[in-house]
Amino acid sequence: MTEEIETERNDVREDGRRPPRAVVGSHRIEEEMFGKVFDGNIVGRIWTFVRPYKAQMLIAVFAVLTFTATQLMIPLIIRYAIDHGIATDGANNAVLLHSIIAFAIAILINFAASYVQETIVGRVAEDVLFDIRRAMFSHLQRVSLSFMDKTEVGRLMSRLQGDVNSMQEFLETSVLSVGDITLLFGIVGVMLYLDFRLGLMTLAVLPVLFIVRIYWLPRARVAFVAAHETNSVTNGALAEAIHGVRAVQSMDRQSINFTLYDDKAHANLKAHLTAAKYAQVMVPIVDSLTGVAMALVIVVGGSRVLNQELDVGVMVAFLFYIQRFFDPIRSLTLQYSVMQRAMASGQRLTEVLDVPVDITDAPNARSLTADMDGSVEFRDVVFGYDPKHPVLKNISFKVKPGETVALVGPTGSGKSSAMALVHRFYDTQHGQVLVGGHDVRELTQDSLGQQIAMVLQEPFLFTGSVFENIRYHKSEATFEDVVEAAKAVGAHDFIMTLSEGYDTELGERGGNLSLGQRQLISFARALVADAKILVLDEATANIDSYTEMLIQKALVKLLENRTGLVIAHRLATIREADRIIVLQNGQLIEMGNHDQLMANGKLYAKLYNLNYSSFDDIPDQELQAATPGESHT
Amino acid sequence: MFAQSVGLENTVSSDALKRAANHSDSLAHVNAAGWGRGLFTLVRITHMTLRHPWQTTFAIGATLIAASLQLMIPQLLGHAVDQTQTAMAGGAAGKIAETALLMTALILLAVSILRGLFTMIQNYYSEAVGHHMGYELRLACYEKIQQLSFSFHDSVHSGDLITIGMLDLEGVRMYFSTALVRTILLTMLIGLGAYMLLSTDLVLGLVALSFVPFVAWRSSVTQLRLRATWLELQERLSVLTRVMEENLSGIRVVRAFASQTYELLKFDKASHSALELAHKRVGIRVTNTSAMTLSFFAAMGLVLWVGGSKVIAGEITVGTLTSFLTFMTILQMPVRQLGLMVNSYARASTCGTRLFALLDLDIAVKDAPDAKDLKISEGLLRFEDVGFAYPQVAGRPVLQHLSFEARRGETIGIVGPPGSGKSTIAHLIPRFYDVTNGRITIDGQDIRDATLRSLRQAVAVVQQDAFLFTTTIENNIAYGDPWAKEPRIERASESAQLHNYVLGLPMGYDTVVGERGVSLSGGQRQRLSIARTLMLRPAVMVFDDSTAAIDAGTEQRIRIAMRRYAKDRVTIVIAHRLSSLMHADQILFVEDGQIVERGTHENLLAAGGRYRALYDLQVRPGDTVPVAVKKDVQA
C-alpha cells in the first residue's frame, strides 16, 4: 500500500499557514442574544409570574415616583434658599431655616423612598427569578421523556440559568425605567417652569444627544457582542484544553494548539479594544454637551441675572439640573438593550414552559398498592414514538407474579420501548399495558413508580455519599437497610474499601467508581426501593470478569420474590430466566424457556448456535444471515 | 469554603461558569495564602503592567489631567455665579460683566471638552493595559495547562483550572483599571478637592467633607461584605446548578423511581438557601446605599445652612456657596467608589495568588537539559525492573520489579484483575508519568533522555475513553496529524471499523461531534480513538483497554485489520476480555503490580494458574472455546 508522502508533523509551516484540519474550541455561538424590543405575549407570560407580587410592585412604583420627586425637589429648595433667604437684600435667616427644614424633610423622604423601592424591587426580582426557575424545573419533571431525549441538558440548563437571569435584570430595570422617565420629564418640566426660554435653550442639547446615541448604539452593540462572543470562544478553547489535556499531550498537539489559541486570544484582544473605543467615545460627547448646556446657562442666564430679569438661584438650580439630566438618558438607552435581551430570553423560556405534558394522571386515577399481585400484561400493544412508525406491533404477553422474563432480540427490536411502557413513560397508541391487573393509565404515576423498580443500562449516580445514593428517595430507609441491600448485591465489600465507607462522597456521576461498581450500587438502590416488579436493562458494556461474577450473583438476589422483566444480553442471564420472549422488528416472534426455544429451532436457536457469549457480540453479517428480514415477515 | 468562583460575572461564558461552579475544592494550598503573599501578588501584577510603559503612562497621565480639569468645573461655576452678582448695573460695567461671563462660559466649555477627552484617554488606555495583560496571561495559562503533567491533572478538578483560567484571570486583568488607576483618580479628586474646599473656607470645608469618612468606611466595609456573600452565593447556586443538572441528566432514573417529589424537595432546599442569601445581599446593599446617600445629602443640607448663614453675614459669596455645593456632587461619586476600589484590591490579590500559583508550578515530566530526539532503529522496547508509585500515594507502589521486552512486530498482552496496575504500564511508556524505579528504554535509549516530542511521536496510546474535540469526525481522526489528506484518514477509519458508520451519517466525515455536536456511543468513541492513533504511525502502539465497549465481532475485525500495521511496530494490548489478547506473542498476567504469570495463551492455559481461572470464568461454563475465539486463534 502506498502512503502519500507528507511533510513531517510540524506545527505551523514556514509560510505561516495553520494546519488545515486543526481547530481548538468550538466556533458555534449558541443563540440569539437580542429579540424584539417588546413582545406583548412574552410580557404577558412574565406578568403571570409578577402578579403574585402585584401589591409590592405597586408600592415600589409609588416609592420610585416619590424618590424621583424628592430628587427634583432638592435643587428647587436650594434655589429657594438662595433667592429668598441668602441672596436677597433683606437677608433672611428665618427663610434659610425654613429651607433647611424643608431640605431635611426632603432628604428623609428620599432616604425612605429609596430604601423601600430598592429593597422591594431587589427582592421581588429575586423572587420572580426563583419562581420562574421552579416553574420550569417542575414542568420539566412532567414533560414527556421523548422531549427530554432529544433536548440537550446543557441547553435546558442555559434556560434555567442565563435566560432566567436576564428576566431578573429586566424586572429590576423596568422599575428603574419608570423612575428614569419620570426624572427626565420632571427635570424638563421644572426647568421649563423655572424659566421657559432658558429651559428651551438648554434642552436643545438633548435631541443632539439622542441622535448621537441612536446612531452610536447599534454600532457599539455590534462591537460589544463581538467582544462577548470572542470571550466565549476563547474560554471554550481553554476549557477544551483542560478537559482534553490527556488527548492533547498524547497526540503531541501542544504547540499547534498554542498557535491556534493565540489566534483566538488575539482576536479577543482586538475585539475588546474595539469595544472599549466604542464605549469611551461617548464620554467626550456627553461631557461636551454638558459643557455647552452649562455655558449657555452662564452666558444667557448670567446676563439675565445681571439685568435682574432672573434670580441667581434659578441659575444655580439650572446648573444642578444640567449635571443630572444626562444620567436618565444614558440609563434608558442601556435599558433598551436589556429589554431586547429579555424578550429573546422570554421567548426561550415560554418555549420550555409550553412543552406539552403528554402523560398525566387520569382524573379518577387509583393508587397501586403494595398488595397487588405483581403481574404485568401486554394486550395487543401498538406503540411508536412517531405513531406512523410503530416500534411495537400488536404485542401480547403476560408475566405471572414472581416470574422472571427475559426480553431478547437484536438492537432496534423494541425491547427498551416495551420496558418503558410498563412504567408508563409513554402511552400506547393501541392496546393496554396492565400492572397488577390494572391498566397503567388508570393508576397514579407516583404509585406505579413505587411498585416498579428500574435499573438502567447506564447506572446513574448522584453527587452525594454512597449511602445517599443507595437510599435515594426512600428517606425512611435506615442505615441498616442500606447496608443490608449492599450486602445482598455484593457491593458491601468494595464500599468498605472506600476511604470513608458508606459516607464516601462520590465524584461527579460516581466518577471515582468503576462501571461495574456503579452498577452494583444501582442494584442496591433498586433493592432498597423494594418494589414488587423489577425492570432491568442489563449493561452491555464489557465489565471485567471479576465484577461480572458479582453482578450475576446480585441479579439472582435482586429477582428473588419479585416479578422480573429483564432486557438480557448475556446468555447466562437469559438461560436463567423462567421464560424468554424474543422480539424482532417490534414483533413478538417466539416465547418459551430456553429448552423450548432451542427445540423450536427458530431465531433464538439460531442466535444461540452462533455461540457468542452475549447476543450483542454477534457481528452484523451473521445476525443478518440468522434473522429473517422485514420482507419475510 | 467558598474561595473559587470569584469575580465579575458578565464577561465569562456561561458554559464555563457553569462548569466552574460545579466544583468545590481547589488548589487547596493556595487558599491558605496570607497577607504577605497577597501583597506580593499585587506588587507582581503592578510590575506586569509596566510591560506596557506607553499605555500605562498615557492612562495615568490622562487620569491626572482629567481629575484636575474636573475640579476646575465647580470653581468656574461659582465664579460665573459671582460674576452675575458683582456688577449689578447696566451700561459699560454691564458690558464688561457680560464679556467676563462669556469668557467664563468659554473656559468652562473648553474645560468640559478637554475633561471628556482626557477621561476617554484614561479609560481607554487603562482598559487597553488590562486587556493586553489579559491576553498575555491567557497565553501563559494555556501553555502551562497544556504542559503540566498527568499527575498534576489527576490531582486537580478541571473545574478549578477553568475557574483560574477564566474568573481569576479576569480579576487580575481588571486590577489596573479598577484598582490602580482608580486609586490615582480618587486620591486626586478627594485629596485635591478637600484641599481646595478647606483652603477656601475651613469651616464650610469641614462641613462639606463631613460625609467623606463615613461613606468611605461604609462603602469599603459593605463592598467587602458583599464580596464575601457573593462568593457564598455562588457556592449555593452551584449546589442548585448541580441539583438541576443531575436531575435533567438522570431524568430516567428520576422517573423510574417516581421520585419527582423528592427531587423537587431537593431543588427547593437548594433554591431556598440561595434565595435567602440573595435577599440578604439586597438588604446589605440597600441599607448601605441609602445610608450613604442620606449622609451625603445631610452634609449638603449643612453646607446650605452654614454657608447660607455665612453669605447672609457677608463672609462668603453666593458663588462660593454654589461652588461648594457643586464640589460636593463631584466628590460624591469618588467617595462611593472607594469601596469598589478596596474590593478590586482584595479580588486581584486572591485571584492573582491563585493564578500565579498555577503559572509558577513546576512541570514534573519535562525534557532533560540534554535531551535528544529518540532514534528508532530496531524498535525494541524494554522495561527494566520498573517500579512506580503515584505521587499522591508515594508509599504505595502500583508497579514493582516489572521487566519485559518486545520487538518490532511483536504483540504483548497484559491482563489482570481491576486495580492491578495494567493501565499504569500504558501510561509509563509515553512518559505520562515517570517511573520511580528502574527504567524503560526504546532501542537502548532511556526514554527520560529523549525529547518528549520525539517520544510521544514514537509511542501512541489508545485511551480507554476517547476525548472528542468539538469539530468534525475527520478533524478528530486527524487530530495528531492535522496536515493529513483525506485518503489516509479514511483508511485509518476503515481499519478501526468506523468508516461504515460515518458514511451512514447525513454529514459523513463532516459531522461535528463532541460536547456541542453529535454524541457518539462508547464503542464508536473507542473506534475513533483507534483510528486517531493509527494516523500517528507510532513505533509503539498501546491499546489501554480500548476495545471494552466494542462488541467482540467488530473487535475481531479491527484485530485483523490491525495485523497490517502490527508488523512495523510493537503492539501492547491491555484488556480484560481475553479474546482481545489471546493471540499475543507473550501474555503477562499482572497482579498487585507484579507479573505473576507470563507466556503464550497455550502455555498459560496449560499451566493452569490464574490465567486459566480467568479463562474459565469468561468462557461459558460447560461450553468449549467460543467460535469467535477459535477462528481468531487459528488465523
What residue ranges do the domains of chain B occupy? Answer: 14-359, 381-634
> Going by C-beta distance under 8 Å and a sequence separation of 6 or more, which residues neighbour residue A349?
A45, A132, A136, A159, A163, A164, A167
* CA dist., res. B545 & res. B465, Å (int): 9
Please identify among residues 368-397 of chain A the ones whose CB lies closer than 8 Å to any CB of chain B: none
Q: Which residues of A touch B131 (CB under 8 A)?
A: 269, 272-273, 276
Give the C-alpha distances (Å, rounded to integers) separating A302 from A291, A315, B80, B104. 15, 7, 7, 11
pLDDT of B622 reads: 39
Q: Which among B329, B281, B358 is positioned nearest to B78, based on CA atoms?
A: B329
Q: Which among B379, B256, B128, B369 is positioned nearest to A419, based on CA atoms?
A: B256
Q: Which among B86, B373, B83, B297 is positioned nearest to A9, based on CA atoms?
A: B373
* CA dist., res. B222 & res. B211, Å (int): 16
Alpha helices, DSSP H, located in A354-478: 415-422, 445-451, 466-471
Closest-CA distance, A396 to chain B, in angstroms, reads: 23
Q: What is the pLDDT of residues B418-463, one digit of tens each?
A: 778 888 899 999 999 999 999 999 999 999 999 999 999 899 999 8
* B266 in Cβ contact with A471 (< 8 Å): no
Looking up cell 430628587 gives A71
* CA dist., res. A171 & res. A126, Å (int): 9
Q: Do B242 and A472 touch (CB under 8 A)?
A: no
Helix axes B91-147, A205-243, angle to 10 degrees: 10
DSSP A472: T
DSSP B509: G
Domains A37-195+335-356 and A376-625 share a fold: no
Q: Do B255 and A425 touch (CB under 8 A)?
A: yes
Q: Do B15 and A319 touch (CB under 8 A)?
A: no
* CA dist., res. A294 & res. A301, Å (int): 10
Q: What is the chain B residue with the closest CA to A303?
A: B98
Q: What is the pLDDT of residues A109-147, one digit of tens each?
A: 999 999 999 899 889 989 999 999 999 999 998 888 878
Starting at the edge strand that comes first in sequence, how are the strands of the sheet with B399-406 ordered? B399-406, B381-388, B437-442, B445-446
**Tell me, which fold does domain A37-195+335-356 have in CATH?**
ABC transporter transmembrane region fold (1.20.1560)
* A42 in Cβ contact with A343 (< 8 Å): yes
Give the C-alpha distances (Å, rounded to integers) separating B448 from A298, A511, B429. 80, 32, 10
* A213 in Cβ contact with A333 (< 8 Å): yes
State the best of B13, B292, B555, B616 to mutate against chain A, taking most chain A CBs within 10 Å.
Answer: B13
The SS3 assignment for A250 reads: helix
Please identify among residues 212-251 of chain B the ones whose CB lies closer than 8 Å to any CB of chain A: 241-242, 244-251
**What's the mean pLDDT in B99-115?**
93
Task: Characterise A592 by phi-psi region: left (phi > 0), alpha (psi -120 to 50), beta (else).
Answer: left
Q: Which among B458, B463, B427, B462 is positioned nearest to B442, based on CA atoms?
A: B458
Q: Do A4 and B487 touch (CB under 8 A)?
A: yes
* CA dist., res. B117 & res. B62, Å (int): 9
- How buried is residue B485: exposed, middle or buried, by Cβ count under 10 Å (0-12/13-18/19+)? middle
Q: What is the pLDDT of residues B464-477, one digit of tens each?
A: 778 888 889 999 99
Buried b (16+ CB within 10 A) or exposed e, A560-594: eebbbbbbbbbbebbebbebbbbbbbbbbbbbeeb
What is the domain partition of chain A in residue ranges?
37-195+335-356, 196-309, 376-625
Q: Over 60: is that where the pLDDT of B15 sits?
A: no
Which secondary-structure segment (H or E) carries B588? strand B586-591
pLDDT of B139 reads: 95
* B415 in Cβ contact with B575 (< 8 Å): yes
Of B101, B256, B309, Cβ closest to residue A96: B309
* CATH number for region B381-634: 3.40.50.300
* CA angle B1–B5–B11, rounded 5-degree value: 170
Residue B589 contacts A, CB cutoff 8 Å? no
Residue A450 contacts B, CB cutoff 8 Å? yes
Looking up cell 453666593 gives B318
Q: What is the chain B residue with the closest CA to A116?
A: B286
pLDDT of B19 reads: 38
Please identify among residues 19-38 of chain A the ones whose CB lies closer than 8 Å to any CB of chain B: 19-26, 28
**What's the mean pLDDT in B32-61?**
86
Q: How far is CA B633 from the centre of its chain?
A: 49
Residue B95 contacts A, CB cutoff 8 Å? no
**What's the mean pLDDT in A356-381?**
87
> Going by C-beta distance under 8 Å and a sequence separation of 6 or more, which residues neighbour residue A76?
A190, A317
Q: What is the chain B residue with the closest CA to A136?
A: B244
Q: Which residues of A touch B251 (CB under 8 A)?
A: 140, 145, 148
- Of the pLDDT bands very low, low, confident and very high (cuts 50, 70, 90), residue A629 is very low
Range of weakest confidence among A19-33, A113-127, B333-347: A19-33
Give the C-alpha distances (Å, rounded to integers) separating B8 from A123, A280, B3, B286, B526. 21, 20, 14, 20, 40
Q: What is the pLDDT of residues B74-100, one digit of tens each?
A: 889 988 888 887 655 456 677 888 888
Q: Does CATH place domain A376-625 in 3.40.80.10?
A: no
State the best of A15, A74, A143, A249 to mutate against chain B, taking most chain B CBs within 10 Å.
Answer: A249
pLDDT of A91 reads: 61
Q: Which residues of B touch A542 (CB under 8 A)?
A: 548-549, 576-577
Q: Which residues of B touch A475 (CB under 8 A)?
A: 262
Average confidence score pLDDT of chain A: 84
Give the C-alpha distances (Å, rounded to integers) separating B354 from A449, A472, A576, B30, B167. 48, 37, 58, 6, 11
Of B98, B312, B627, Cβ closest to residue A86: B312
Amino acid of residue A311: D
State the best of A33, A245, A525 to mutate against chain B, taking most chain B CBs within 10 Å.
Answer: A245
Q: Do B457 and A252 touch (CB under 8 A)?
A: yes
Alpha helices, DSSP H, located in B360-498: 422-428, 452-458, 473-477, 486-495
pLDDT of B355 reads: 93
Choice between B272 and A529, residue whose per-residue pLDDT is larger: B272
Q: What is the pLDDT of residues B495-516, one digit of tens each?
A: 999 998 899 888 899 988 876 6
Beta bridge partners of A454: A535
Q: Over 90: is that where the pLDDT of B181 sits?
A: yes
Length of chain B: 635
Please identify among residues 464-493 of chain B the ones whose CB lies closer than 8 Å to any CB of chain A: 466-467, 469-471, 474-475, 478-485, 487-488
Q: Do A236 and B13 touch (CB under 8 A)?
A: yes
The dihedral through the CA atoms of B449, B450, B455, B458 has a sign that is negative
Q: Which residues of A touch B626 (CB under 8 A)?
A: 611-613
Q: How far is CA A478 from the centre of its chain?
A: 34
Q: What is the pLDDT of residues A227-242, one digit of tens each?
A: 888 888 898 899 889 9
Residue B548 contacts A, CB cutoff 8 Å? yes
Q: What is the chain B residue with the closest CA to A612?
A: B626
DSSP character string of A570-613: BHHHHHHSSEEEEEETTEEEEEE-HHHHHHHTSHHHHHHHT--S
Half-sphere exposure of A324 (CA within 13 A, CB side): 24
Strand-pair category, B445-446 with B459-462: unpaired
pLDDT of A625 reads: 67
DSSP B353: H
CA dihedral defined by A270, A274, A276, A282, rounded to 10 degrees? 170
Q: Over 90: is that where the pLDDT of A204 sits?
A: no
Which secondary-structure segment (H or E) carries B386? strand B381-388
Q: Which residues of B touch A103 (CB under 8 A)?
A: 297, 300-301, 304
Q: What is the ipTM metric for this complex? A: 0.86
- Of the pLDDT bands very low, low, confident and very high (cuts 50, 70, 90), residue A619 is low
- Of the pLDDT bands very low, low, confident and very high (cuts 50, 70, 90), residue A361 is confident
Q: Over 80: is that where the pLDDT of B251 sits?
A: yes
**What's the mean pLDDT in A42-54?**
89
pLDDT of A622 reads: 65
Q: Do A611 and B623 touch (CB under 8 A)?
A: yes
pLDDT of B540 reads: 94
* CATH number for region B14-359: 1.20.1560.10
Of A9, A242, A294, Cβ closest to residue B108: A294
Q: Over 80: is that where the pLDDT of A197 sits?
A: yes
Amino acid of residue B516: R
Average confidence score pLDDT of chain B: 85
Q: Which residues of A touch B234 (CB under 8 A)?
A: none
Q: Over 90: is that where the pLDDT of A347 sits?
A: no
* A246 in Cβ contact with B150 (< 8 Å): yes
- Of the pLDDT bands very low, low, confident and very high (cuts 50, 70, 90), residue B48 is very high
Closest-CA distance, A92 to chain B, in angstroms, reads: 7
Q: Which residues of B touch A234 (CB under 8 A)?
A: 138
Q: Which among B246, B228, B431 is positioned nearest to B343, based on CA atoms?
A: B228
The SS3 assignment for A361 reads: coil
- Taking every pair of Cα atoms in chain A, the longest distance, rounded to a whole number of angstroms, is 123
> Going by C-beta distance under 8 Å and a sequence separation of 6 or more, which residues neighbour residue A156?
A140, A352, B248
* A187 in Cβ contact with A68 (< 8 Å): no
Please identify among residues 126-155 of chain B the ones whose CB lies closer than 8 Å to any CB of chain A: 127-128, 131-132, 134-135, 138-139, 141-143, 145-148, 150, 153
Q: Which among B21, B7, B350 is positioned nearest to B162, based on CA atoms?
A: B21
Helix axes B260-312, A54-80, angle to 10 degrees: 10
The SS3 assignment for B460 reads: strand
Closest-CA distance, A316 to chain B, in angstroms, reads: 7
Q: Which among A614, A578, A571 is positioned nearest to A596, based on CA atoms?
A: A578
Of A140, A258, A449, Cβ closest to residue B142: A258
DSSP character string of B143-179: HHHHHS-HHHHHHS-HHHHHIIIIIIHHHHHTIIIII
Residue A206 contacts B, CB cutoff 8 Å? no
Q: Do B146 and A241 touch (CB under 8 A)?
A: yes
Residue B294 contacts A, CB cutoff 8 Å? yes
**What's the mean pLDDT in B545-569?**
83
Q: Which among B140, B454, B462 is positioned nearest to A261, based on CA atoms?
A: B140
Q: Do A87 and B461 touch (CB under 8 A)?
A: no
pLDDT of A448 reads: 87
Q: Over 60: is that where the pLDDT of A429 sits?
A: yes
- Of the pLDDT bands very low, low, confident and very high (cuts 50, 70, 90), residue A541 is low
Q: What is the pLDDT of residues B570-627, one digit of tens each?
A: 999 998 888 888 889 999 999 989 999 999 999 999 998 899 988 887 775 434 333 3
* B585 in Cβ contact with B410 (< 8 Å): yes
Q: Which among A298, A55, A35 is positioned nearest to A167, based on CA atoms?
A: A35
Closest-CA distance, A478 to chain B, in angstroms, reads: 17
- Of the pLDDT bands very low, low, confident and very high (cuts 50, 70, 90), residue B404 is very high
Starting at the edge strand that comes first in sequence, how are the strands of the sheet with B540-544 ordered? B459-462, B540-544, B570-574, B411-415, B586-591, B594-599
* CA dist., res. A24 & res. A267, Å (int): 14
Task: Characterise A192 by phi-psi region: left (phi > 0), alpha (psi -120 to 50), beta (else).
Answer: alpha
